[in-house]
Chains A and B, each alone.
Chain A
C-alpha cells in the first residue's frame, strides 16, 4: 500500500513567455562573431602599430571612427533600429585600415570608411543585404581616387624619433616601389634585374613595413585566420581554395608560389575579406568555387594586369558572382536521389 503524495498547495507557474521549439539557442550571436574577428586581427594590428608607429594608430582610428559614425548617423537619419553594437561596422573599419598603407592620409581613410558603410552597406538595407564587401569597396574607392598613394612604398619611422627601425638614420620615411612592384618590373624585363623572390619570405612573414598595415606579418595574419577556422567562425574552404589556387597557378605560370601567397593582400583577403559571410557563398561547393575564382583573378591580375596588386578586384568581382554561385550549387536534399528534381 502506498499513501498518496502529501497533498500540498498546487504549484504556481510564474509568468513566462512561451514560444514553439526549439527552446534553447547556441552561444554565438552577431556581436560575438564580430568580436572574434577583431580578436583574430588584433595581434597583426598591434604589431603594425608597434612597427609603424603613430601613423598606424591614426589610420586605425580614422577608419574605425568613420565607419562607426556613418552607421550610427545613417540609422538615426533613416529611423532604423540602431545596429552600431552588432560590431560589424567595427570590423569593416578595422579591415579597411588593415588594407591601407600606413601613410594614407587620415581624411582619405575616413572617406573610405564613409563610403564603405554608406554606399556599400546601408544603402542596400544594412548588414546581410549588401552584395560587395564594404571594406573592399572603401579601399577600391580610395585606390581609384588617389592611385599613387596605394602603390607607393612608404616606409614610416618608428614610434620614437630616436629609434631607427631600418637603419635609415633620421629619415621619417623612404619612398619607392613596393616589393610586389619590383617583382612586376623584374618580370617585364625577363628577370634581368635579378629580383630574388625567396629572399622576401622572411620579411613578409615577420616584419614587412612597406605594404599595408595588414601585410606587416604574414605569420600573425595566418595565425589569426587559423584561430577563426578552429573557432568555427569561418569556413576553411574559402582560404584553402583561394591560397591553394594562388600557389598552384603562380607556380604553373613560372612565378614563385610562396612569394605570391605572402606578398600583397592575398592572406588578408583570403582569411578576412573573402570569408565575409554576407558577400561569400552559403554552400560548401560554392565556397570552393568562390575561393578558386578569387585566386585565379588575383594571380592573373597580378601577373598580366596593369597594377601590381589585384586582391581587391579579385574578391569584389567574385562577390558579384555569389548569387549565381549560390543558385547553382544548392545541395541535394536528403532523400531526393542523386539529382535534385
Chain B
C-alpha cells in the first residue's frame, strides 16, 4: 500500500547516519550562559532579576503578561553578570541575561515551576515553546478558540530536515514520555484522536512508539520526503485535508505539536520541570557528532568545542537543519529553546552562492517540487522585477519557505529567497 504523504517535495540525502545511532548524552556544562529574553514567537519577556542577583536553576528570570509569550527560567544556578543586548542567530537583537554559573553545579536539581491547574497552564509556567524550530508558545496552541474544535492531535515526529536526529533519539529513548505528552495534549484540547506521524526512514522509532502505546495513540509511518514535517503537509498526509488559504491549521480540526514539545510538556506536568535544556544534534564536520542534552544559553562555539571542534575545513555553520536553518555568523550566539541542531558543512557541501541573474531554463523542477503547488519560477521572475501585484496573483503568501525550489534549481536561481522578498513587500504594503 502506498504510504501517506503529500504532493511534491524532494529527497535530499539524509546524512543522518552519523548521529541517528548515537544516544543522547549530557552536553557541555558552561561556566557562563547568555539567556535571551525572547526565544519564542510573541512578546519578549522582561527580566525580573538584576545584575548581581543570585539565581537558582529553574527560577523564573524573565516574564511578561502577554497571552502569546513564554517565560524564561535560569538554565543553571549562578550570578547575573549583566543584562545586555545580544544578537541571536536569526539576526534579532534582543535583551539577554548573562549568568556566571556557580562552581560545581548540580544539574539533577531544579526549582519546580509554579503549580498550574491545566495542561495549558503548566505549559505556560514551564515556558514551553514549539521545539521543532518555530518556537511558538505551546500554551497558546493548547487553548484553541471555541469556534475551532480540535478533533485530531498530530505529533510531528517526521524530522524531515537532513542531518537532524534529535527527535529520532527522543522518540527512541523516551517513547513513554512522547505518548504521555500526546495523551495530555489530546485531553487538554478535547480531541478524540491522536496520531504520531513518523517518516518511514525511522522504523526503529515507529517500533519503539508502538511498543509504548495502547491502541489509543496511532503511530503512522509516513513516506520519507522533505518537507513531510511542515505543518500543512503533515495534516494533509494524516487527514487528507488541505489547510485553506489564509486559515489557521486548526481550521481543519487538527492540532500539530512536535514530539520534543510533547516530552517537554509531559515533564512540565508530571515533574513541574521548566524548559531549561534541550537535545541538540551537533553533526557534520565535527569530531564527535552526537545528540547532546544542552543547557539553554550555552554558546554555539562551546557546544561545537564539546563535540571535539571542527573536523575539517568549514563552509558554513548552520543553526537548525540545512533546508530551513540559519547561517551562524558569530559562535558566541547562544543555543535557544528552538535550536534543534548545529550542522557544520564543508565548503563543497554548501549550496553555491549565486551572484547576478541566472537564467530560468524552464525545466519545471521547482513546480514539481513545490509542496504548495506554487510556480516558483513565475514568482521568481516577478519578484526579481518587483512586480508585487503579480506575485500576489500567483499566491506568494502561500509559500511555506521550505526551500525545495532553490534546492532543485539547476541554474541555482535564488527562488525561495525571491519569494521571501515578495512576501515581505506584499505584507509591508498592507495585505
| CB of A14 closer than 8 Å to a CB of B | yes
A333 with B372: CB separation less than 8 A:
yes
Residue of A nearest to B377 (CB): A282
A16 with B317: CB separation less than 8 A:
yes
Interface residues of A in 276-327 (CB under 8 A from B): 277-278, 280, 282-284
* Closest-CB distance, B350 to chain A (whole angstroms): 6
Provide the B381-409 mask, 1 if CB < 8 A to any CB of A, else 0. Answer: 00000000000000100100101001111
Interface residues of B in 133-187 (CB under 8 A from A): 162
Residues of B within 8 A of A85 (CB): none
From known contacts A25-B406, A330-B375, infer whether A277 and B395 are also in contact, taking CB-CB under 8 Å. Answer: no
C-alpha spacing A90/B356, complex, angstroms: 24
- Select the stretch in B111-119, B211-219, B266-274, B325-333 that faces chain A: B325-333
B359 with A127: CB separation less than 8 A:
yes
C-alpha spacing A17/B331, complex, angstroms: 14
A14 with B323: CB separation less than 8 A:
no
* Closest-CB distance, B385 to chain A (whole angstroms): 14
Chain A contributes a number of interface residues (CB within 8 A of B) equal to 49
* Closest-CB distance, B319 to chain A (whole angstroms): 10
C-alpha spacing A277/B363, complex, angstroms: 5
* Closest-CB distance, B12 to chain A (whole angstroms): 6
A2 with B105: CB separation less than 8 A:
yes
A23 with B395: CB separation less than 8 A:
no
* Closest-CB distance, A291 to chain B (whole angstroms): 14
| CB of B81 closer than 8 Å to a CB of A | no
C-alpha spacing A5/B305, complex, angstroms: 10
Among B31, B373, B414, which residue has its beta carbon within 8 angstroms of that of A331?
B373
Residues of A within 8 A of B318 (CB): 23
| CB of A170 closer than 8 Å to a CB of B | no
Residue of B nearest to A7 (CB): B31
| CB of A33 closer than 8 Å to a CB of B | yes
| CB of A129 closer than 8 Å to a CB of B | yes
- Select the stretch in B35-43, B66-74, B308-316 that faces chain A: B308-316
| CB of A199 closer than 8 Å to a CB of B | no
A-B contact pairs, 11 of them (CB 8 A): A1-B106, A12-B331, A19-B353, A21-B325, A21-B403, A25-B412, A33-B410, A126-B359, A283-B364, A335-B244, A337-B244
A binding-site residues for B, Cβ under 8 Å? 1-5, 7-8, 10-14, 16-26, 28-30, 32-33, 81, 125-129, 235, 277-278, 280, 282-284, 330-337
B binding-site residues for A, Cβ under 8 Å? 7, 10, 12, 26, 28-31, 101, 103-107, 162, 232, 236, 242-245, 247, 299, 301-302, 304-306, 309-310, 313-318, 322-332, 343, 345, 349-353, 356, 359-365, 367-368, 371-375, 377, 395, 398, 401, 403, 406-412, 414, 416-417, 420
